[in-house]
């Protein structure tokens, strides 16, 4: 029997990024950023201002990027002596990280007195987006002059990544921290995703539920939540406003996703239902427990020494997906079928029983906790298999499928 190889495409494969560094302590994060961008498949050309070179050397950045760093508009190595033109012409984006308050002020004015600001001004605006990762003290970030400059550069077409909030190098705490290298990598990956769900509201359930037996025990299942979290990330990258209702899992919340943590099926139901009518899409990936102990004990159930086994009466949990699908009008509902056999038959049976337009089948035991999966899309038209791949790649394909169906309905 042949084992399918998971297909994992590099999310920035084939992209060329000009990474500009202006002066700031956060320059140390840019070294790590080059590595992250490389690992994600991008080639990186570093450009540094004079101030940036006071914080980190071009030697470090050259070693990490594998290319000589550009630092001057008078660099005689360029045959036409026009580094400011040449650098941006084959770039998919210019990312300035860190973008200091001073550098943003220069951009707002259209100044071009050194290579980095010059090449930002000289870039072909329609093909080469300008992305800024601000990094500065919180007072500088909050200053009316910076607010004005940020407003201006945005109006001129720049996109801002962050800043984040937290501890600052100066010892103060607040807004203005540059995002971490991995966060900037993820922002960049998201930036390049097609905005197939722009402005759509998407609600997703994920993970297992936990049904209490007593205050210390309960019934749960092996769902890791990874598929649902991947779909939340993919939908957000596609421009959707995403709410993720998560059972008990230890997974990081995808960026810009609103997360509501719940424990039991009843809590999940009560979190989902008030939100559902306002959604364009509902994706039910959660492995919701079908039953719960009818009356959980108030205190820990103790052994009495007789060898007697406690028995408890179970009661059925509400079907969250069926409840959402019965709203008038319902959001576009996507169900998941986690089966151990006969995937297509069970998935189709759920499509009908829950009155939903799309059910995604997967083999639970083969995927629970893993980073890859194989999906079978089942709808009224037929079936389509999505080959084994990492869950994020599959989530992006599923988002494409959902977007197509939404368009067809509209």
Cα dihedral 41, 122, 86, 50 sign: negative
Give the residue, chosen from 75, 214, 280, 319, that forms a contact with ligand CTP under the rule CB under 6 A: 319
C-beta closer to ligand CTP: residue 306 or 341: 341
| 284 is an interface residue for ligand CTP by CB under 6 A | yes
The answer to whether residue 27 is catalytic is no
In degrees to the nearest 10, what's the CA dihedral of 71, 74, 77, 80?
Answer: 130
Q: How far is the CB of 82 from ligand CTP (least distance, A)?
A: 57
The string of DSSP codes covering 155-220 is HTT-EE---EEEE-TTS-EEEEEPPPHHHHHHHHHHHHS--TTTT-EEEEEESB--EEEETTEEE-
Decide if residue 338 touches ligand CTP (CB under 6 A): yes
Specify the residue, 181 or 333, whose C-beta has the smaller distance to ligand CTP: 333
Instruction: Kindly state the smallest distance separating residue 206's Cβ from ligand CTP, in Å.
Output: 9
How many residues make contact with ligand CTP (CB under 6 A)? Answer: 15
* Closest distance to ligand CTP from the beta carbon of 275 (Å): 14
- Write down how long the chain is: 410
Report the alpha-carbon distance of residue 39 to residue 236 in Å, rounded. 22
Q: Kindly list the distances between the CA atom of residue 76 and the CA atoms of 49, 67, 79, 82, 260, in Å, as whole numbers in the listed order.
A: 17, 16, 7, 9, 56
Q: Is 150 in the site for ligand CTP (CB under 6 A)?
A: no
Cβ-based neighbours of 189, under 8 Å, separated by 6 or more: 11, 12, 40, 237
Least distance in angstroms from the C-beta of 239 to ligand CTP:
24
* Binding segment (CB under 6 A) for ligand CTP, from list 57-65, 106-114, 170-178, 312-320: 312-320
The interface region with ligand CTP, picked from 20-28, 72-80, 330-338, 385-393 by CB under 6 A, is 330-338
Told to check if 288 binds ligand CTP by CB under 6 A, we report yes
- Which CB, 102 or 319, lies closer to ligand CTP? 319
Judged by CB under 6 A, does residue 337 bind ligand CTP?
Answer: yes
Asked if 204 touches ligand CTP (CB under 6 A), the answer is: no
CB–CB of 301/213 below 8 Å? yes
> What is the x/- site pattern for ligand CTP, positions 219-258, by CB under 6 A?
----------------------------------------
Q: How far is Cα 366 from Cα 23, in angstroms, rounded to an integer? A: 50
Residues sharing a CB contact under 8 Å with residue 305, sequence separation 6 or more, in sequence order: none
Site for ligand CTP in 66-125 (CB under 6 A): none
CB of 367 to ligand CTP, least distance (A): 13
Is 99:49 a contact under the CB 8 Å cutoff? no
Q: Does 335 engage in binding with ligand CTP (CB under 6 A)? A: yes
Contact between 377 and ligand CTP by CB under 6 A: the answer reads no
> 16 has which bridge partners?
43
Nearer to ligand CTP (CB atom), residue 139 or residue 349: 349
Residues 379-408 that bind ligand CTP (CB under 6 A): none
- Pick between residue 119 and residue 284 the one whose CB is nearest to ligand CTP: 284
> 19: part of which helix (H) or strand (E)?
strand 16-21
Q: How far apart are CA 405 and CA 410, in angstroms?
A: 9
Which residues, 6 or more positions from 364, have their beta carbon under 8 angstroms from its beta carbon?
A: 222, 223, 287, 338, 339, 340
Of 237, 275, 273, 282, the closest CA to residue 257 belongs to 237
In the complex, minimum distance from the CB of residue 313 to ligand CTP, in angstroms, rounded to a whole number: 18
Residue 343 binds ligand CTP (CB under 6 A): no
Stretch that binds ligand CTP, among 46-54, 173-181, 187-195, 282-290 (CB under 6 A): 282-290
Q: What is the DSSP-derived secondary structure letter of residue 274?
A: H
CB of 281 to ligand CTP, least distance (A): 13
The answer to whether the CB of 228 falls within 8 A of the CB of 307 is no
Residue with smaller CB distance to ligand CTP, 141 or 336: 336
Nearest-approach distance from CB 321 to ligand CTP, in angstroms: 3
In contact, 41 and 68? CB cutoff 8 Å: no
- Applying CB under 6 A, the residues found at the interface with ligand CTP are 205, 265, 284, 286, 288, 290, 317, 319-321, 335-338, 350
Give catalytic residue positions: 170
């Amino acid at each position: 029997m042949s084992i399918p190889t998971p297909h994992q495409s590099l999310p920035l494969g084939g992209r060329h990024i000009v990474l500009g560094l202006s002066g700031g302590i956060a320059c140390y994060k840019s070294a790590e950023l080059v590595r992250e961008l490389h690992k994600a498949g991008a080639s990186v050309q570093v450009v540094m201002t004079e101030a940036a070179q006071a914080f980190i050397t071009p030697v470090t950045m050259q070693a990490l990027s594998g290319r000589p760093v550009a630092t001057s508009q008078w660099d005689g190595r360029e045959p036409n002596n026009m580094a400011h033109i040449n650098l941006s012409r084959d770039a998919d984006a210019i990312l300035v990280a860190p973008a200091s308050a001073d550098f943003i002020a220069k951009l707002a004015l259209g100044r071009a007195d050194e290579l980095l600001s010059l090449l930002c001004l000289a870039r072909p605006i329609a093909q080469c987006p300008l992305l800024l990762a601000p990094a500065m003290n919180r007072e500088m970030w909050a200053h009316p002059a910076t607010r004005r400059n940020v407003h201006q550069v945005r109006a001129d077409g720049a996109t801002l990544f962050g800043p984040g909030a937290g501890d600052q190098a100066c010892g103060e705490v607040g807004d203005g921290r540059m995002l971490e290298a991995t966060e900037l990598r993820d922002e960049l990956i998201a930036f390049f995703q097609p905005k197939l769900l722009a402005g759509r509201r998407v609600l997703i359930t994920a993970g297992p539920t936990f049904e209490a037996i007593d205050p210390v025990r309960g019934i749960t299942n092996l769902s890791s939540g990874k598929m649902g979290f991947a779909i939340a990330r993919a939908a957000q990258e596609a421009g959707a406003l995403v709410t993720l209702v998560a059972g008990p899992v230890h997974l990081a919340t995808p960026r810009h996703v609103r997360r509501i943590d719940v424990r039991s099926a009843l809590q999940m139901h009560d979190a989902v239902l008030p939100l559902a009518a306002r959604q364009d899409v509902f994706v039910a990936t959660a492995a919701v427990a079908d039953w719960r102990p009818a009356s959980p004990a108030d205190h820990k159930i103790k052994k009495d020494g007789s060898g007697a086994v406690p028995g408890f009466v179970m009661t059925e949990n509400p079907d969250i997906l069926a409840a959402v699908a019965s709203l008038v009008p319902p959001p576009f509902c996507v169900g998941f079928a986690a089966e151990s056999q006969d995937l297509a038959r069970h998935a189709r049976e759920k499509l009908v029983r829950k009155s939903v337009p799309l059910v995604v089948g997967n083999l639970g035991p083969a995927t629970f906790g893993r980073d890859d999966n194989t999906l079978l899309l089942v709808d009224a038209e037929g079936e389509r298999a999505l080959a084994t791949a990492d869950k994020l790649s599959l989530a992006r394909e599923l988002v494409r499928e959902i977007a197509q169906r939404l368009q067809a309905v509209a």
